[in-house]
Amino acid sequence: MMASSFALLLSLLSIPLFSVSSASSDSVPDFLQCLSDYSLPSYPISEAIYTPQNSSFSDVLQSYIRNLRFTTPETPKPLVIVAAKHESHVQATVICAKTHGLEIRIRSGGHDYEGLSYVSSVPFVVLDLFNLRSISIDIANETAWVQAGATLGELYYGIAEKSNVHGFPAGLCPTLGTGGHFTGGGYGTMMRKYGLSVDNIVDAQLVDVNGRILDRESMGEDLFWAIRGGGAASFGVVLSWKINLVRVPETVTVFKVERTLEEGATDIVSQWQEVASNLDEDLFIRLGLNSVNATGGGKTIKASFIALFLGQTDRLLALTNESFPKLGLQRKDCIEMRWVESHLFWFDIPKGTPVDVLLNRIPKGKIYLKRKSDYVKKPIPVEGLEVIWKAMMEIEKVGMAWNPYGGRMSEIPASATPFPHRAGNIFKIQYSANWQEAGINVTNNYLSLTRELHKVMTPFVSKLPREAFLNYRDIDIGNSKEGGLPAAAVYGKDYFKDNFERLVHIKTKVDPDNFFVNEQSIPPLLPYKI
């Protein structure tokens, strides 16, 4: 039944995926009245509403935009922002937006690389969750409830306040909102030991298309499966997650070793590819690659090996000396600290800085940026590395981060969650371009350079599909609002592989009219409203 239905979906590729909204600014008074009608006296929604006439509107909108590409005067702005302060505000926003034909965009931390959590091409409302950020930690049962607007920094700090031997496997950036980060998969330096964030989520609260609050039991296992890695914004609004905490040692070790081509980086990178996914699961070594100025003039490649080890220096040195000798790791390279402090290390914050810096919700500086992703299934030969180095030195302004897989990531079945990139991958690539200069010509140049390096990597990465990571949102691989179902079929397979079909069927069941929609959302099977 599923296969035949999915064949029907793909046979109707010429039909657009989204409702062409007739709503406009004229809908706003009715929408606002609807919100008021659904407001609870004990939790008045009026305090959470911002319109362009409100003096704080721009500040609220801009405060959680993490990519300056979407701060230009030409960027479409929401008709209304609802900065929900209570779950009833979320329910009212969903019900009233649906009633009055307004699209909603759901924002928790604002880190969507393509701005899909706060930008749309049709009249829309931003449902902002930054006020919903409570965290309740139960060390005795090794669990926690985390609201979707809480940041990773707040979560890590909260865990550390209660325990030095517990943590959670999630991302490195402390200002990431848990709502979006978890629902895209959520990976970090402990994924080889404990898997992804979604592999450690045991319950959730979700507002569905009818405004109901559902937990795991009431939403059912299909929907609970879908929101853990399939992009919950296609299915509803996540209010909170229940997570399993994981054990960490009282002392962990970090290091950063840098080598240029002149210092033997190519040989070290070659060995890293062979061993990084097979090392002890307590050890995660990320490889950063950038074009830099060479000492004698011209350009070279700097390879940065940055690591977290769930243990102390002596054991780490024994492991690397045996399994990764070309790195040449020395005791002086290693720094011991608490697990919570390791998150400061990854952001070059000096050791000894109070860990309450993790509570800062605003990044140190905003930038223009573009990201792309890839997966690699077999080591790239030296000849291939030399092709890559040459291209990077010519392009100059685009770097890469290679993140090792293996360990627990290879043990979890590809169908366990919508995130399918498990066994068979030795590392994941993130392409990264950052810039400070404004202007469309500058932006287009950086976008072009990023795409150029991505093209150079084509022979060395996964194929059919060319896999991509949902948390590294990349509109280049498909926009269903412009390309309809052909675009959805491409990005759906790239992000989710064979899990895309199950996601489509769940979407059809829980949101057949495609209310929860964006440029890369999961489409329902026909019929649906157009």
User: Tell me: the pLDDT tens digits for 307-334?
Assistant: 999 999 999 999 999 999 999 999 999 9
Mean pLDDT, range 6-11, rounded to an integer: 42
Q: Which tokens belong to 425? A: 């991958």
Burial group, residue 498, by CB count within 10 angstroms (0-12, 13-18, 19+)? exposed
For residue 107, give the nearest of 233, 23, 223 by alpha carbon.
233
Phi-psi region of 279 (alpha: psi -120 to 50; beta: other; left: phi over 0): beta
Residue 12 tokens, joined:
């109707």
Helix (H, G, I), strand (E, B) or coil at 283: strand
Average pLDDT over residues 169-182: 96
Residue type, 494: D
Specify which residues 307 forms β-bridges with. 255, 285
- 297: which residues sit within 8 A by CB, 6+ positions away? none
Find residue 370's DSSP bridge partners. 433
pLDDT value, residue 10: 44
Residue 465: cis peptide before it, omega within 30 degrees of 0: yes
What pLDDT is recorded for position 24? 59
pLDDT of 300 > 50? The answer is yes
pTM for this entry = 0.94
Assigned token pair, 326? 């070309």
Phi and psi at 349, nearest 5°, equal: -90, 125
Q: Token pair 């399993």 is at which residue? A: 244
**Which tokens belong to 89?**
């505000």
Mean pLDDT of 248-252: 98
pLDDT surpasses 80 at 268: yes
Segment (H or E) for 378 = none
| pLDDT for residue 425 | 98
Nearest to 130 by CA among 147, 146, 116, 114: 147
Q: How confident is the model at residue 23 (pLDDT cuts 50, 70, 90)?
A: low
> Cα–Cα distance between 498 and 513 in angstroms, integer?
23
Residue 2 burial by CB count (10 A; 0-12/13-18/19+): exposed, middle or buried? Answer: exposed
Q: What is the dihedral of CA 465, 466, 472, 474, to 10 degrees?
A: -90
Mean of pLDDT values over 435-455: 97
- Give the DSSP H/E element, type plus range, for residue 302: strand 299-309
The two three-digit tokens of residue 42, written as one number: 């004990």
User: Between these two residues, 13 and 444, which has the higher pLDDT value?
Assistant: 444
Instruction: pLDDT band for 26, please (50, 70, 90 cuts).
Output: confident
Distance CA 217, CA 203 (A): 9
Task: Look up residue 379 and give its DSSP letter.
Answer: P
485 compared with 294, residue with greater pLDDT: 294
Q: Which two tokens stand for residue 403?
A: 């993140």
Confidence of residue 397 (pLDDT cuts 50, 70, 90): very high
Res. 53: pLDDT tops 50: yes
Q: Which tens digits make up the pLDDT trace of 100-139?
A: 999 999 999 999 999 999 999 999 999 999 999 999 999 9
Average pLDDT, the chain: 94
User: What is the rounded distance in angstroms from the CA atom of residue 441 to the CA atom of residue 425?
Assistant: 36
What's the CATH fold of domain 252-342+360-460? Vanillyl-alcohol Oxidase; Chain A, domain 3 (3.40.462)
Give the percent of the chain with pLDDT over 90. 90
Q: Is the pLDDT of residue 2 over 70?
A: no
Burial degree of 170 (CB within 10 A; 0-12, 13-18, 19+): buried
Bridge partners, 436 (sequence order): none
Alpha-carbon distance of 372 to 338, in angstroms, equals 32
Q: In Å, how far are 85, 148, 471 from 177, measured between CA atoms?
A: 16, 7, 12
Pairwise CA distance, residues 164 & 347, whole Å: 21
Average pLDDT over residues 51-70: 96
Q: Under a CB-based contact definition with an 8 Å cutoff, are residues 267 and 124 in contact? A: no
The rounded distance, in Å, linking the Cα atoms of 107 and 429 is 25
Tokens of 142: 């090794």
Residue 166 has pLDDT above 60, yes or no: yes
**What gap in Å lies between CA 109 and CA 89, rounded to an integer?**
18
Q: What is the DSSP letter of 67?
A: B
Q: Which residues are catalytic?
A: 472
pLDDT for position 7:
46
Cis before 418? omega within 30 = no
Does residue 13 surpass a pLDDT of 60?
Answer: no
